Chains A and B, each alone.
Chain A
Amino acid sequence: ETGVTQTPRHLVMGMTNKKSLKCEQHLGHNAMYWYKQSAKKPLELMFVYSLEERVENNSVPSRFSPECPNSSHLFLHLHTLQPEDSALYLCASSRSYGRGNEKLFFGSGTQLSVL
């Protein structure tokens, strides 16, 4: 257990559905991240929140909408996704952001399939 919990573990959705991914960290960290891991591609950073403020948004399409209501919870709201969005979505947290010594702790991910 890494202290970062993601739900659901698996999700299958149609292109017209709306769903949300949830992440919770029990480590007392101040920064949370969403990463996308597609087959045979490096992990891609999607969003970063530090102290509940979004500090990075890496040109992610608007069909992905993050929400960070407090420093322990992070959501990724999904709507009108495309089949190419099928991937493993990983949440991570770190003690702080921007100090250059952060180790990320990852959750087990949500395996998303878009039909």
Chain B
Amino acid sequence: EDKVVQSPLSLVVHEGDTVTLNCSYEVTNFRSLLWYKQEKKAPTFLFMLTSSGIEKKSGRLSSILDKKELFSILNITATQTGDSAIYLCAVLLLQGAQKLVFGQGTRLTINP
């Protein structure tokens, strides 16, 4: 069974801290891994990672994929209260039909 596991499930830090969110997967027919941020309701796209070892960066957020060890991390530096959200990891599988398998999410809370 295809599985995506995120850790931690919940994280509370102070503004200015750096956080690392983890996503590991056990799937067949891996195509790419995606990160989403869900603040109120609508998940918004952050990154799509297809190749191992290539860091993707957007401002204070960065992410990297390790296809050998089957995981990805999402880093947020100098956190701000606006970074508080649920961060979702999803793996895109492709074998004939396409399937996006989500993890449970990490609820990140940034305290001032």
Instruction: Mark A residues whose CB is within 8 Å of B.
Output: 2, 4, 40-43, 45, 55-56, 88, 90, 97-109, 111
A68 to B68, CA, bound (A): 40
Interface of B is mostly: strand
Instruction: Mark B residues whose CB is within 8 Å of A.
Output: 4, 31-32, 34, 36, 40-45, 48, 50, 88, 90, 92, 94, 97-105
11 contacts between A and B (CB under 8 A): A4-B42, A41-B104, A42-B4, A43-B43, A100-B31, A100-B98, A101-B31, A101-B50, A104-B34, A106-B44, A108-B42
In the complex the two chains form, is A101's CB within 8 Å of B42's CB? no
Interface of A is mostly: loop
Q: Which residues of B contact A97 (CB under 8 A)?
A: 98
In the complex the two chains form, is B4's CB within 8 Å of A104's CB? no
